[in-house]
Structure 1
Amino acid sequence: MIKFENVTKVYNNNVLALSNVNIEIDNGEFVFLVGPSGAGKSTFIKILLKEVEPSSGTVIVNDTNLTEIKRGEVPYYRRKIGVVFQDFRLIPSLNVYENVAFAMRVIGASSREIRKKVPTVLSLVGLSKKYKAFPNELSGGEQQRVSLARAIVNNPSLLIADEPTGNLDPETTLEIMDILQDINRAGTTIVMATHAKDIVDNMKKRVIAIEKGTVARDEQRGRYGYED
């Protein structure tokens, strides 16, 4: 699913963000990406999303060589990836149903497909009764559920979660993690960047720890191992 081969990223201000990173993530894995602030996790994610280019090395995602695809192909590549952010990034003028449907409209789904799929996904994240609500009428946890629904409505093979529980209380965090586990069990590969030590330690999934731009640790059923 994901292969980083000798990937280095140096920004224009000579900041070394990643240094000779080699990582392979198999289809269907659930992987935590951990490390101190500024370690390189955000750069790793930005490279996956084709938001920044590596300075050297090769990145392959789902058989697509990111160092070779043309600029015009990037939007089509991103359609195969679901993304969930800490700050939700919902469209405030659209209600719950419309926010999720928007992701389908972008890829040209028909109205019939949207009417069939959106209610199913909202049911999965427990928001069937809130489909008419607007983002400002929802709690933080509910907004993140909408974000999750939007991220998976197009059946992505890969879901990237960037600090998805960072703004949530402990109880809501557990609920979001349960949903992510259900999504993973259904076959979606998940890469989740987080500082949430308790989540990482309790779930006992694969942990890739990045420190000063290098892979400091890569363990199956690992632990967080850092104090920020």
Structure 2
Amino acid sequence: MFRRKSIDNIQENLYETNQGTSHKTSTIDCDNISTISISQLHYEIENKILFDHFSYEFKKGKRYAIIGASGAGKTTLVKLILNYYPKNLYDGEIKINGKQNIDISSEELYKDIAFVQKNDFLIEGNILENIKLARNLHLTEKLRKSLGFNEDFLRKNLAQSNQIISEGEKQRIDLARFLVKTYSVYIFDEPTSNLDPIKAKEIMDYILSIKDAIVIVITHDQNPEILEEFDQIIVL
């Protein structure tokens, strides 16, 4: 099914699926998020402790890899930052630019925080329209090449029943929707999981080239050549 949504709506709807519609009204300068601070975080689920007095600070201009075994809490940590879970389920503080995250509406959070995760929705139209989503944005040559999109692919019309795209192509479309816009914070959840090694390396190189932002990558890929490019590695 094809649905027309803005990219902010996509993120909000994913959030609301987990917690419900937010009615918080506090604002934050989302054009310049410089810190995300976690202090004494304690969170457990089904009698399993995922975080026990965990503290960390993410800073603008730094690139962070979050690694660990499946079920270690990598995606959960990000979802706690983004208010997916109500405050009564965990102890500790999470602040964005010094403000409690629980006091910030999901609408404000997603104005300049990109949470890039698996999302299969597509709209009627061609691939480029699926990337831009009616936004006045430009797909740069550098990004186009990193994603492996040629002009013929970008013109492919998904409204035609014979036009099939692979899981890897869907993943690259998901990435493009966020990389085509400038954010203060980029959070990628397994951004190369459906890609071949060569394309995965090209896209990871592009992600690591992002400047003046907080860049967080959740990954199972523990290739030393990739990990050494990050400023910090968080092992959960």
Structure 1 residue 94, shift from structure 2 partner? 4.6
CA RMSD of aligned residues (A): 2.5
Mapping of 1:1-228 within 5 angstroms? 1-11=35-45, 13-54=46-87, 55-69=90-104, 73-85=105-117, 87-91=118-122, 93-102=124-133, 114-115=135-136, 117=137, 119-121=138-140, 124-126=143-145, 127=149, 129=151, 130-133=153-156, 137-182=164-209, 184=210, 186-198=211-223, 200-210=226-236
Structure 1 residue 121, shift from structure 2 partner? 4.5
Aligned residue type for 2:127: V
Query: Residues of 2 paired with 1:206 and 1:31: CA distance?
Result: 5
Contact 1:58 1:67 in 2 (8 A): no
* Number of residue pairs aligned between Structure 1 and Structure 2: 191
Aligned residue type for 2:214: T
Distance 1:64 1:203, change over 3 A: same
Contact 1:90 1:147 in 2 (8 A): no
The runs of at least 4 consecutive aligned structure 1 residues that moved more than 6 Å come to: none
- Residues 86-124 of structure 1 deviation map (CA, whole Å, 9 limit, x = unaligned): x3534254532222232xx5xxxxxxxx34x2x334762
Query: Residues of 2 paired with 1:165 and 1:152: CA distance?
Result: 14
Aligned residue type for 1:157: S
Q: Which runs of 5+ in 2 are unaligned?
A: 1-34
Query: Residues of 1 paired with 2:230 and 2:167: CA distance?
Result: 26
Q: Secondary structure at the match of 2:206?
A: helix
Contact 2:50 2:73 in 1 (8 A): yes
| TM-score normalised to structure 1 length | 0.72
- Residues 201-220 of structure 1 deviation map (CA, whole Å, 9 limit, x = unaligned): 4535410111xxxxxxxxxx
Aligned residue type for 2:233: V
Aligned residue type for 1:51: Y
Structure 1 residue 153, shift from structure 2 partner? 3.5
Query: Residues of 1 paired with 2:121 and 2:229: CA distance?
Result: 28
Contact 1:122 1:149 in 2 (8 A): no
Structure 1 residue 83, shift from structure 2 partner? 2.2
Contact 2:126 2:157 in 1 (8 A): yes
Q: Secondary structure at the match of 1:9?
A: strand
